[in-house]
Amino acid sequence: MNAPTLDDVLSPPPGSAMWQPDFLFGAGTAAYQIEGAVAADGRLPCIWDTFAARPGAVRNGETAAVACDHYRLWQQDIDLAAGLGLDAYRLSISWSRVLREDGTPNPAGIDFYERVLDRLAHHGVKAFVTLYHWDLPQHIQDRGGWLNRDTGRRLADFADLASRRFGDRVATWATLNEPWCAAFLGHGSGLHAPGMADTRYAVEAMHHLLLGHGHAMAALRANGAQRVGLVTNVTAVSADSPSPADQHAVRLARACYNQWVMDPLLLGSYPEELQELWPGVRPIVHDGDMQVIASTMDFIGINYYFRANVRSDGAHGYTDKGLDRVERTLMGWEVYPAGLRDVLIGFKGRYPTLPPVYITENGMASDDVVADGRVDDAQRVRYLQRHLVAIDQALHAGVDVQGYFAWSLLDNFEWSEGYAKRFGLVHVDYATQARTPKDSALALKAFLERRRAQGVISGRSS
Ligand code: IFM
């Protein structure tokens, strides 16, 4: 079967800044979700290995022991990313692969990332590296993990090693991916590793994650890193009704979902609304902590997937009631592209020092199948297309968005959801490890080819 003509269904609006070659297009992955090889070459256990082994923690008892076997297939995967014409590739480094328990580097683990980064450089694809994408070494967890202030210092050690060894091949460094998930899902709801479920733990873990971010930024800068920041997940929030109670619920939900991370980073304080949500629960903040957390970032990475539609819970909180008859993805998440625009414009208004923005994750899960060598993922093509339009609107409103990364390059281990939720531009057959670019990948490739061709015609270099 011939591939469909898709170059006109996935492209930014005509004249958009996204047609310029300095607006980066990429795709992302995370070490734990794709690498597998959890015991190879001296890699130490991490909290997700422990958590996934707990009965009931991950759907169908699945684990990331093999995942996409990327530790072995890395070269073909990087070549695949380059073959799509991506400007940039976002990856994370497994802390427990590169650092031993005694703090010395693990040469085999370092070699692996050297090879990956060299291959990206060979293709001229920019490397966007995240240090912490949720895979804390288990031995650090055994000393308290993110409930221990000292873990932030350990993150700085990791940042120091990574930037000394890889710094010459890394375009941007993100200290953390989605501290909200690591803090809340990992320590408040227990849905993620390490599986704790107490709001007091979540609040303390968040403070130590953000403190670790500040310490890691300092370590990266000391080693000459030029572009450092953090990646946070954000949620668009709407009110279920115009009632004052539901409007107030929106303020509480925004404080929890977005400002809990953004305010300390960009305003140097936690939002007051958290006190109403979680009365009496405050992190232990030492003198100087907020200055460390609010160190200047060169960019902020925004991960956007869906909106929450909330109403008052009648007490001091909110409930996410959702909306009926809206389009949803296999995760059950509402498809709401305008929310990305609204969140970005809202941030520009709230944070006078908002740094340049990359959309570091955006995408959707579906139940994709290969038929006649093709994966028809029309919903994803539409999803991506509509989010590009929303970003263009934010650009027009003056938000400095500099790049867009689809989540994810490959179908992968979707944490407690296991393997059924496929987020990839590229389909992975987990039995054979065959990769098949989906229609969305082909559409993105076609757009990027067209953009390059237009740049050449108009005399711009890409
Ligand atoms: O797969 C995750 C990723 O690791 C972090 N952001 C959200 C994605 C989809 O749930």
Is 29 touching ligand 1 by the criterion CB < 6 Å?
Answer: no
The pLDDT assigned to 374 comes to: 98
- The verdict on the CB of residue 67 being under 6 Å from ligand 1 is no
Quick one: pLDDT at residue 456?
A: 75
Does residue 303 line the site of ligand 1, with CB under 6 A?
A: yes
What pLDDT does 458 receive? 72
- Looking from the CA of 5 toward its CB, the CA atoms found within 13 Å total 2
CATH class of domain segment(s) 17-458: alpha beta
Q: Is the shortest distance between the CB of 407 and ligand 1 below 6 Å?
A: yes
Residue 272 bears catalytic tag: no
- Look up tokens 């890193």; give the residue: 225
Q: Is ligand 1 within 6 A of the CB of residue 414? A: yes
- In 104-227, beta strands by DSSP E: 126-132, 172-177
Nearest residue CA, atom 9 of ligand 1? 414
Contact 176, 209 (CB under 8 A): yes
Does the annotation count 178 as an active-site position? yes
Q: What confidence score (pLDDT) does residue 55 get?
A: 98
Q: Give distance in angstroms: CA of 366 to centre of ligand 1.
A: 14
Average pLDDT per consecutive 10 residues, the chain (462 residues; last block may be shorter) = 56 96 98 98 98 98 98 99 98 98 98 98 98 99 98 98 98 99 98 98 99 99 98 98 98 98 99 97 98 98 98 94 97 98 98 98 98 98 98 98 98 98 98 98 97 80 43
- Quote the CA–CA distance of 385 and 110 in Å, as a whole number: 37
Cα(256) to ligand 1 centroid in Å equals 18
Q: Which amino acid is at 178?
A: E
Q: Do residues 47 and 380 make contact, with C-beta atoms less than 8 angstroms apart?
A: no
Distance of CA 337 to the CA centre of its chain: 17
26, β-bridge pairs: 88, 405
Is any ligand 1 atom within 6 A of the Cβ of residue 361? yes
Indicate which residue's Cα is closest to atom 2 of ligand 1: 414
At 2 the pLDDT is 46
Give the CA distances from residue 223 to residues 132, 217, 299, in Å, rounded to whole numbers and listed in that order.
18, 10, 18
In this structure, the number of other CB atoms found within 10 A of the CB of residue 84 comes to 23
Question: How is the chain split into domains, by residue range?
Answer: 17-458
Contacts 24+ apart (CB under 8 A), 285-291: 285/207, 289/207, 289/211, 290/264
Which is the catalytic residue, given 35, 62, 178, 334? 178
- pLDDT for 459: 65
Please name the residues in contact with 398: beta carbons below 8 A apart, sequence gap of 6 or more.
Answer: 348
Partners of 336 in the β-ladder: none
From the candidates 62, 273, 334, 361, which is the catalytic residue? 361
Residues 329-362: b if buried by 16+ CB within 10 A, e if exposed: bbeebbbbbebbbbbbbbbbeebeebbebbbbbb
Dihedral, CA of residue 215, residue 216, residue 221 and residue 227, to nearest 10: -130
Rg value, the chain, Cα: 21
Atom index in ligand 1 nearest the CA of residue 233 equals 6
